[in-house]
A and B are shown apart, each in its own frame.
Chain A
Amino acid sequence: MSDRYHLAIVGAGPAGLSAAGRAAYYDAVNGATTPSYVLLEGFSTFAKTIQKYQKGKHVMDEPGFLDLRSELGFTAGKREQILASWQQSLEAGINIRYDSEVVAIDGEKGSFRLGLQSGDVIEAEHIVFSIGTQGNPRALGVSGDAESDFVRYTLDDPADFKDETIIVVGAGDAAIENAIALSDYNKVFIINRRNEFSRAKDGNLNAVLAAINDKNRGFYCRYESSVAGLELPACSGQLGALILNTPSGEERIECHRIIARLGTVPPRKFVESCSIEISSPSMEAVPDVDRHYQSNVPGLYIIGALAGYPLIKQAMNQGYDVIEFIHGKNTKPADYPLLQGQFSGLPYVMDAEDVLDLYQQRVPMFRRMNPLAFRELIIESRIIVSLPPSELAQAAPSGDHSTHFVAAGEPLYRHGEFSTSFYTLVEGEVQLQLEQDGPWHTIKPGQFFGEMSLISGRPRQGDAVVSQDSILIETPRRIMVKLMNSNEEVRSGIDRVFVMRALQAAFRPQLSLDELAAIAGRVETCQFKAGEVLFSEGEEGECLHLIRSGTVMLTRGGANMVVAQSHSGELVGQLALMGTPKRADSATAAVRTETVLLRRPEFLTLVNSQPEHVATLQSRLSDTLQKSNAMASQPQAARAIGFLMAEGLGEATNALVIDETLCVGCDNCERACAETHNGISRLNRQSGASMAGLHVPVSCRHCELPHCMKDCPPDAIRRTANGEVFISDSCIGCGNCETNCPYGAIKLSYQAPKKPGLLSWLLFGLGSGPGEPEHFKPSAAAQDAGKKAVKCDACMGRSGGPACVQACPTGAALRLSPNQFAQLVEGR
């Protein structure tokens, strides 16, 4: 016996709930007596991920520019409020079926069959997938492993448990962090299936080994042990037990509680088992869907995070829209007005959907994208139209989501500017330089540029000047990176052009584009992790590296003796092809680095085509040789550079370096930082490493390719044209950036309370005085808003420059870029 519905919605997250809400609306309108749809949820409650947020967590409703379109309510607020409002909608009549995990899907449009865990089968004409990407926690896999008071798959607050025996199963970061936190007040066993904690982060690895070896801590580990069974406690408060298979036989451990942290089950396998294709092998890749969210399986729709839209509001809008589409309504999606705004300043009158199609056809690279991905790209991009200066003055001011006007004949960007966006020319012409004062290249419609900064994170090289009546699409780096990760053709297309332009910039060859493309096809792209060696001192070399991204340090006479550093766009190892083949230095990647490897034949083709440029290359090489020789003769200085590189400053653009021989430890820098940044200091002077009188405190160094910008859901981390990386007010406090920053320069903090004025403190002792208060109780409003990420913004916009530097009474604090390091260490 199976139930049959018009529509089955799988997964009761925000997307699924919203879809069900809309489906219920149609039922009401049509006067249906039985629901035509069913919302299937594998878990015992709806919106599981949000239910598992900590109590009182503030949930944001980014993106702010998008309106909500759903039968269910959603505004930014506390987790409880949002869940309560959805609960209400559910009670008002949504046909939801809990504990109904879908394990198999077969059939086709009109007659899908959904197999449930329980063995039941549901038939449906259409399926909407809204299962998200969070997945479900991997269960213990023995009888009795359902989530209960005794068996838990999450840990909200370790302080909830005291004087208990608790078994933590798992060896990942979550398991280790939970186990160590619990062991403060409990006896803890950690169960590791393998014989080492290889999956954990370094910090957790050290911590877990220290805890295991600590005789005073009730912390025990069972290696190479798997769970064979469990005995639930007879009644609450009594002990249960876990049965383990260990190398020395079966072991039974009595315990009050079991906490299993075995990771989540990735949905990919399941998704593919439903014949849905995921074209890219990348871990982050999601299935392709069309403009109506339909996957390659007709009648099977995918919305929400699994379709690549992780934000709640987007997911809810899609839930609404997808039901409209299934009901045959050609509703304009919620983002249609945004598109209209984007195209509002175009010199022709055309429906936004048609412009979208036209532009996708016009650019070869975009033709291969699926329409939904292209739509998102446009919404996240800026449409730029160039006007003669006289008309520009009269043009409507451009807002966030309207056409952006620029003056024709003026640079779109200038040499040295920090911007990493990517430009695609749709109409008109752009004159492009590939290096400062270099020759001009003409960009035609359908071509793109800006890929250099996109890939390397370095400031722009050369200017880009736009001619009259040109139309461009300017896409932020974040969107391009996402696209390149999910679309192999786009990635390789951009890569090929990158290599060609990099070769043009480095050698200025007089070759046709075909010849150049042939060379670009022959060169090899190499990737090096920090610390990996490109070539070693003394060996014979017959190739050179052109750096794509990252920093390479040249060392001589020892790994810590850095005589030179090269950045993207520069050549390394050219001495082997232009002088003696014997390598004078070792080349090591200072940070994650990508290079283009050129061998002698390609090198000769390039330089022979433009003999005049050889002199330039030669003079650059002699310049480098002079500098590296000077550094090699000052071992102290070379070692100091080595130290700075080891501290990760190779990828810095603006780093705080303190001269310890001048620093009196007054912490005025920290106080100045706190006082100029809402009471929270973004720098910790005392922490961080020192060597030879140089101290690199914990503070943001504004990396070339900032790690923190990688997965910021609301895209709150931005970079200014001057290079400052900052966090905008749209931060939702998720903590991704804090985790991603390898230098500990980001922290999450409540807003600090307001302070009395300086004189009130000086004269009457009011308040805690200048600087960040050591302990403060956040106000109710600050607690309500939740913690937000804070980091150094290099005091952007402050006319006196960084406050930490300006407030240093002894001149010990300086902010430097890597090209100043040589000057810094010489003659110390």
Chain B
Amino acid sequence: MHINLLAWRGYRYGKLALILGLLSIVLYASQGGDAAQPPNGGTWQGYVLGTVGALLILWLSVLGIRKRRYNSNLGTVQGWTSAHVYLGGVLLLVATLHSAAQLGWNVHTLAYALMCMVIVSGFYGLYVYLHVPGRLAGNNAGKDREAWLEELAALDEHIREVVESCDAELQSMALSALELSRLGGSLTQQLSARDHSRILLPNQSKAVSNAEQAVMIHSLSQRIPKARKQSEAAVLNQLLALFGRRQVILNLLRRDIQLRGFLKIWLLLHIPLTIALLVALVIHIFTVFIYW
């Protein structure tokens, strides 16, 4: 019942984009062209392609407005997005044919390059929109981030209680492991999902890496066989289980942050580049008419 945005209404806009692409190729080919006048943006065919391309760019950027016109009944946002993807894709062809591969160090090529970057970032966006949500759902296993954070907080609370009965050394180690656990951080840290958690070891003033809670887990597992009392071993065992669970949840959350980052990061390129493209496009059109 749920249909993804590519398959919307039986690939309606895919078919439309295909037709538009074919027409553009025919139009381009009709320029014939000789050494004196190779195919370019200045022929009537070139103008048609350019006009189509410019209108497409304008229309594509209107999605940002349509998406927020919540009272609008002009189609569904999914339909618009589906059209946006296909027509954005075919724009690459239309504009390339319009340029006829005549590139140079000028504002025209700047507009073309910006457009390509917008489209490529859009392709990346399409890829993550299609693939990441499923992975995100799988990662989060039916709970949302809040619920996992709550479980983590409860787990930490539990560890604090259990560790109270341990010796001071282990206690300070465990507490430092809790305090120096890291989630999120800078953009690159979020996207890389690397574990920057640290731990303060006994008699040391500088914290060392505790990625994957490994130092803590290792240290606990080594202490268990050496425990003098059964009760002590039981406590250590319990701590080991708690830190094991902690490791899993921290990983899951880090992955969650990373995947959500993937879903959002491309918009930080796509949108500003679009605005730059619109500016360059206006300049491109103006200069063309000035030098006509």
Contact between B133 and A812, CB atoms less than 8 A apart = yes
Contact between B142 and A664, CB atoms less than 8 A apart = no
- Interfacial chain B residues near A672, Cβ < 8 Å: 70
CB distance from B251 to the nearest CB of A (A): 19
Residue-wise, chain B 31-63 has the 8 Å CB interface mask toward A (1 for contact) of: 000000000000000000000000000000000
Residue-wise, chain A 672-702 has the 8 Å CB interface mask toward B (1 for contact) of: 1001100000000011011101010000000
Contact between A662 and B142, CB atoms less than 8 A apart = no
Cβ of B71 within 8 Å of any chain A Cβ, yes or no, is yes
Cβ of A809 within 8 Å of any chain B Cβ, yes or no, is yes
- Complex Cα distance, B150 from A687, in Å, reads 13
- Interfacial chain B residues near A758, Cβ < 8 Å: 65, 68-69
Contact between A812 and B144, CB atoms less than 8 A apart = no
Contact between B73 and A814, CB atoms less than 8 A apart = no
- A residues 44-86 near B (Cβ < 8 Å) are none
**Known contacts A660-B133, A660-B136, A800 near B76 by CB under 8 Å:** yes
- Complex Cα distance, B72 from A487, in Å, reads 50
B interface majority secondary structure: helix
Residues of A within 8 Å of B, CB-based: how many? 40
- Complex Cα distance, B81 from A695, in Å, reads 22
CB distance from A645 to the nearest CB of B (A): 16
Contact between A810 and B5, CB atoms less than 8 A apart = yes
- Interfacial chain A residues near B142, Cβ < 8 Å: 689-691
- Interfacial chain A residues near B133, Cβ < 8 Å: 660-665, 810, 812
- Complex Cα distance, B164 from A215, in Å, reads 12
**Known contacts A810-B4, A810-B81, A693 near B76 by CB under 8 Å:** no
CB distance from B277 to the nearest CB of A (A): 17
Chain A: which residue is nearest B72 at the CB level? Answer: A800
Contact between A662 and B4, CB atoms less than 8 A apart = yes
Cβ of B290 within 8 Å of any chain A Cβ, yes or no, is no
Chain A: which residue is nearest B145 at the CB level? Answer: A686
Chain A: which residue is nearest B267 at the CB level? Answer: A666
- Interfacial chain A residues near B73, Cβ < 8 Å: 798-800, 806
- Interfacial chain B residues near A243, Cβ < 8 Å: none
The stretch of A119-127, A396-404, A816-824 in contact with B is: A816-824
CB distance from A206 to the nearest CB of B (A): 12
A interface majority secondary structure: mixed
Contact between B67 and A668, CB atoms less than 8 A apart = yes
Contact between B4 and A676, CB atoms less than 8 A apart = no
Cβ of A319 within 8 Å of any chain B Cβ, yes or no, is no
- Interfacial chain B residues near A659, Cβ < 8 Å: 2
Contact between B70 and A816, CB atoms less than 8 A apart = no
Chain A: which residue is nearest B76 at the CB level? Answer: A806
- B residues 74-133 near A (Cβ < 8 Å) are 76-78, 80-81, 128-129, 132-133
Contact between B260 and A665, CB atoms less than 8 A apart = yes
Contact between B68 and A810, CB atoms less than 8 A apart = no
- Complex Cα distance, B138 from A693, in Å, reads 8
Contact between B71 and A824, CB atoms less than 8 A apart = no
- Interfacial chain B residues near A695, Cβ < 8 Å: 137
Cβ of A803 within 8 Å of any chain B Cβ, yes or no, is yes
- Complex Cα distance, B76 from A693, in Å, reads 23
Chain A CB within 10 Å, residue with most, of B8, B70, B129, B145 = B70
Contact between A660 and B137, CB atoms less than 8 A apart = yes
Cβ of B253 within 8 Å of any chain A Cβ, yes or no, is no
Cβ of B220 within 8 Å of any chain A Cβ, yes or no, is no
Cβ of A14 within 8 Å of any chain B Cβ, yes or no, is no
- Interfacial chain A residues near B128, Cβ < 8 Å: 664
Cβ of B1 within 8 Å of any chain A Cβ, yes or no, is yes
Contact between A770 and B136, CB atoms less than 8 A apart = no
CB distance from A815 to the nearest CB of B (A): 11
Contact between B134 and A660, CB atoms less than 8 A apart = yes
CB distance from A768 to the nearest CB of B (A): 13
CB distance from A669 to the nearest CB of B (A): 10
- Interfacial chain A residues near B68, Cβ < 8 Å: 671, 758, 762, 770
**Known contacts A676-B71, A806-B76, A816-B1, A664 near B137 by CB under 8 Å:** no
Cβ of B169 within 8 Å of any chain A Cβ, yes or no, is no
Contact between A661 and B78, CB atoms less than 8 A apart = no
Task: Pick from B5, B70, B140: contact of A770, CB below 8 A.
Answer: B70
Cβ of B146 within 8 Å of any chain A Cβ, yes or no, is yes
Contact between A809 and B137, CB atoms less than 8 A apart = no
Chain B: which residue is nearest A804 at the CB level? Answer: B70
Chain A: which residue is nearest B144 at the CB level? Answer: A686
Task: Pick from B78, B145, B260: contact of A809, CB below 8 A.
Answer: B78
CB distance from A132 to the nearest CB of B (A): 43
Chain A CB within 10 Å, residue with most, of B8, B65, B68, B161 = B68
Chain A CB within 10 Å, residue with most, of B3, B80, B142 = B142
Cβ of A808 within 8 Å of any chain B Cβ, yes or no, is yes
- A residues 775-828 near B (Cβ < 8 Å) are 798-800, 803, 805-812, 814, 816, 820, 823-824
Task: Pick from A675, A809, A814: contact of B71, CB below 8 A.
Answer: A675
Cβ of B174 within 8 Å of any chain A Cβ, yes or no, is no
Contact between A811 and B8, CB atoms less than 8 A apart = yes
- A residues 633-684 near B (Cβ < 8 Å) are 659-665, 668, 671-672, 675-676
- Interfacial chain A residues near B3, Cβ < 8 Å: 811
- Complex Cα distance, B3 from A661, in Å, reads 11
- Complex Cα distance, B72 from A811, in Å, reads 17
Contact between B143 and A762, CB atoms less than 8 A apart = no
CB distance from B72 to the nearest CB of A (A): 8
Contact between B5 and A215, CB atoms less than 8 A apart = no
- Interfacial chain B residues near A823, Cβ < 8 Å: 1
- Complex Cα distance, B68 from A671, in Å, reads 8
- Complex Cα distance, B5 from A664, in Å, reads 12
Task: Pick from B1, B140, B144, B263: contact of A687, CB below 8 A.
Answer: B144
Contact between A803 and B78, CB atoms less than 8 A apart = no
Contact between B1 and A814, CB atoms less than 8 A apart = yes
Task: Pick from B2, B69, B260: contact of A812, CB below 8 A.
Answer: B2
Task: Pick from A661, A691, A762: contact of B134, CB below 8 A.
Answer: A661
Task: Pick from A675, A810, A811: contact of B70, CB below 8 A.
Answer: A675
Chain A: which residue is nearest B74 at the CB level? Answer: A800
- Complex Cα distance, B3 from A45, in Å, reads 64
CB distance from B99 to the nearest CB of A (A): 30
Contact between B2 and A811, CB atoms less than 8 A apart = yes
- Interfacial chain B residues near A661, Cβ < 8 Å: 133-134, 137
CB distance from A754 to the nearest CB of B (A): 15
- Interfacial chain B residues near A690, Cβ < 8 Å: 137, 140, 142-144
Contact between A807 and B70, CB atoms less than 8 A apart = yes
Contact between A811 and B4, CB atoms less than 8 A apart = yes
- A residues 147-166 near B (Cβ < 8 Å) are none
Contact between B78 and A810, CB atoms less than 8 A apart = yes
- Complex Cα distance, B71 from A758, in Å, reads 11
Chain B: which residue is nearest A674 at the CB level? Answer: B70
Contact between A809 and B70, CB atoms less than 8 A apart = no
- Complex Cα distance, B97 from A172, in Å, reads 76
Contact between A806 and B134, CB atoms less than 8 A apart = no
CB distance from B183 to the nearest CB of A (A): 18
- Interfacial chain A residues near B69, Cβ < 8 Å: 758
Task: Pick from B65, B67, B161: contact of A807, CB below 8 A.
Answer: B67
CB distance from B43 to the nearest CB of A (A): 37
- Complex Cα distance, B129 from A311, in Å, reads 54
CB distance from B77 to the nearest CB of A (A): 5
- B residues 136-189 near A (Cβ < 8 Å) are 136-137, 140, 142-146, 161
- Complex Cα distance, B138 from A748, in Å, reads 34
Contact between B134 and A809, CB atoms less than 8 A apart = no
Task: Pick from B71, B80, B143, B263: contact of A664, CB below 8 A.
Answer: B263
- A residues 718-764 near B (Cβ < 8 Å) are 758, 762
Q: List 24 A-B contacts (CB under 8 A).
A: A660-B136, A662-B2, A665-B263, A668-B77, A671-B68, A672-B70, A675-B71, A676-B71, A686-B144, A690-B140, A690-B142, A690-B144, A758-B65, A762-B68, A800-B73, A800-B76, A806-B77, A807-B76, A808-B77, A811-B2, A811-B3, A811-B8, A814-B2, A820-B1
Q: Given contacts A662-B4, A824-B1, list 6 more A-B pairs with CB under 8 A.
A: A662-B133, A800-B72, A805-B76, A806-B77, A810-B4, A811-B78
The 8 closest A-B pairs by CB, nearest first: A660-B137, A675-B70, A659-B2, A661-B134, A800-B73, A672-B70, A809-B81, A811-B78
